[in-house]
Structure 1
Amino acid sequence: MAKAELKRLFEYGRSYGFEGQDLLKLVQQERAPPRDKRNEECTRWTEEAEQDLQNAREQPKLQMAEMEKEKELLMLRQGPQDSAANSANSTGKTKSETAE
């Protein structure tokens, strides 16, 4: 920005009673490029998209935790009546292999 323009801004600020840091802030605001509404809208859309992506990443984790809880409840309902079969299934062996 040209010196004449800066001088004009300082004189303008002083005429309204601005001094020191307040005057400097006023001049910096006047020199700043105008805010672009489209840029703000794009920023908002980007933030919303990032939030949607984060939610999508968390959703499978929540579903897996829910499935684990349901599995535990089912195991508790079945009880220990067939613990040999359950342990055989968890190790990958059949009942006959477990009996040996």
Structure 2
Amino acid sequence: MSFQNKNKKEFENVYYKNKFNVYRIAMDYSGSHKESAEEIFQEVFLKLYTHFDTVDEEYMAAWLVTTTKNTAINYMKKRARECPKADIELFSDLY
């Protein structure tokens, strides 16, 4: 088995072992907003995929929990700053 295939298999194992916990945390931090939780979930596993070789296997679960919480907090802050389309249309009528 090549190194790349080995890493892919290890990543898949980590994914299947932790996906429910990551999604649950994302749901908690997003206020049970399904679409937000799914975006957070995807972002977390993308981060894991790009940094997989640098994360110590012993601390993988802790890394996922911390990364999920931080990603969710940042996502919700960004979402709170966004201006809904209806508000943009309202402001454009003023000018």
After TM superposition, the score normalised by the length of structure 2 is 0.30
Which structure would you say has the larger RCO, counting Cα contacts within 8 Å and 6 or more residues apart? 2
Larger radius of gyration: 1
